[in-house]
Amino acid sequence: MAIPSEISSPPVSLTGEEPLFIVLNTGSGRHAEGEVEREIRKGLAAAGRRFVLLPVRDGRRLPATARQAVAQAQAEDGIVVAAGGDGTLNAVSQAVLGSGRPFGILPQGTFNYFGRAFGISQQTDEAVQVLLDAVLKPVTVGLVNDRVFLVNASLGLYPRLLEDREAWKQRFGRSRTVAFWSALVTLSGAHRQLTLTLETERGSRALRSPTLVVGNNPLQLEQIGVDEIDQLAQGRLVAMTARELTPLALYGLLLRGLLSRLGDAENVITFGFDSLTVKLRGRRRVKVAMDGEICRLPTPLEFRVAPEPLWLLVPRQPAQREQG
Residue 53 pairs with which residues in a beta bridge? 22
Q: Please write the tens of the pLDDT for every residue from 227-283.
A: 888 999 899 999 998 865 555 455 454 444 443 445 455 568 889 999 999 999 988
Q: Is the pLDDT of residue 303 over 60?
A: yes
Rg (CA), the chain: 20
Q: Please write the tens of the pLDDT for every residue from 197-211.
A: 999 988 999 998 888
Instruction: Mean pLDDT check: name the lowest of 83-97, 130-144, 234-248, 299-313.
Output: 234-248
Give the angle subtended at the CA of 204 by the CAs of 277 and 4, to the nearest 5°: 60
Distance CA 219, CA 241 (A): 18
Residues in the chain: 324
Confidence band of 299 (pLDDT split at 50, 70, 90): very high
As a CATH number, domain 20-141+308-321 is 3.40.50.10330
Return mean pLDDT, the chain. Answer: 83
Q: Is the pLDDT of residue 158 over 70?
A: no
More confident residue, 108 or 322: 108
Would strands 20-25 and 51-56 be described as parallel, antiparallel, or unpaired? parallel
Instruction: Mean pLDDT check: name the lowest of 24-33, 186-195, 211-220.
Output: 186-195
Of all residues in the chain, the percent with pLDDT exceeding 70 is: 75
Confidence band of 193 (pLDDT split at 50, 70, 90): confident
Distance CA 264, CA 232 (A): 19
Confidence band of 27 (pLDDT split at 50, 70, 90): confident
Q: Where are the alpha helices (DSSP H) in the chain?
A: 35-47, 62-76, 86-96, 113-116, 124-132, 157-172, 176-187, 218-224, 229-233, 247-258, 318-321
What pLDDT does 210 receive?
A: 83
Give the angle subtended at the CA of 300 by the CAs of 297 and 302, to the nearest 5°: 85
What pLDDT does 217 receive?
A: 93
Give the three-class secondary structure for 214: strand
Q: Is the pLDDT of residue 170 over 80?
A: no
Fold of the 147-157+191-305 domain:
Tumour Suppressor Smad4 (2.60.200)
What pLDDT does 180 receive?
A: 57
Give the angle subtended at the CA of 214 by the CAs of 267 and 275, to the nearest 5°: 110
Chain centroid offset of residue 161 CA: 16
- Buried b / exposed e across 155-187, counting CB within 10 Å, b at 16+? bbbbbbbbebbeebeeeeebeeebbeebbeebb
- Of residues 205, 216, 207, the one with CA closest to residue 277: 205
Reported as half-sphere exposure (CB side, CA atoms, 13 A), residue 132 has a value of: 17
What pLDDT does 250 receive?
A: 52
Confidence band of 175 (pLDDT split at 50, 70, 90): low
Give the three-class secondary structure for 210: coil
Mean pLDDT of 106-120: 89
What pLDDT does 12 receive?
A: 80
Distance CA 310, CA 246 (A): 40
pTM metric for this prediction: 0.83
Q: Please write the tens of the pLDDT for every residue from 287-297.
A: 999 998 889 99
Q: Which residues contact 172 (CB under 8 A, 6 or more apart)?
A: 178
Residue spans per domain, the chain: 20-141+308-321, 147-157+191-305
Confidence band of 166 (pLDDT split at 50, 70, 90): low
Sort residue 84 into left (φ over 0), alpha (ψ -120 to 50) or beta: left
> What residue type is 320 in one-letter code?
Q
What pLDDT does 229 receive?
A: 87
Residues 95 and 21: beta-carbon distance below 8 Å = no
Residues 243 and 205: beta-carbon distance below 8 Å = no
What pLDDT does 6 receive?
A: 47
What pLDDT does 258 receive?
A: 42
